[in-house]
Amino acid sequence: MWAVGQILNARDEFRYSLDENGELIKWDMISPSYTDFNPETEHFVKFVTEYSNDLYDFCARVEIDKETHKMGCGFIPNQPKNVYDISCMPWVSYEALTLHVDAGGPCLFPVVLWGKYFEEGEKTMMPVTMNINHAVCDGFHLGRFFNELQDYLNNL
């Protein structure tokens, strides 16, 4: 989640949104809006953790937020607007997946999903999907994101 945030925050095309008047804006920083699964209740809670460029600071924030919301269910109210949506589906691996997000209007923020990892020869593989709005991104930007994410994770 942190590596994805590093790449998304480094590129203008991923930080666009619409303000309350429907005007295009570009955020200085976007934070992950994500779900956390409680295996005891089998419920999900969705919240935002403020992004940090510092990996250890960000991970500490995630742990605090997960603990704060661990018994929640559904969307935590009053979430910030400067977000990207990110989730995982660790139960299945996939080759193709279509995402549809209803944000109550045009959805300009990126939506990233990853699935169950698996071993293929000497490599560990994991499917990653990203949904973008063609109004602010194109295939070039999407391709660059995936190449940068692969490079970033290879050198982490």
By annotation, the residues acting in catalysis are: 134
User: CA-to-CA distance for 47 and 66, rounded, in angstroms?
Assistant: 9
Amino acid identity for residue 105 in this structure: G
Task: Count other C-beta atoms under 10 Å from residue 136's C-beta.
Answer: 19
Residues 6+ apart with CB under 8 A from 132: 110, 141, 142
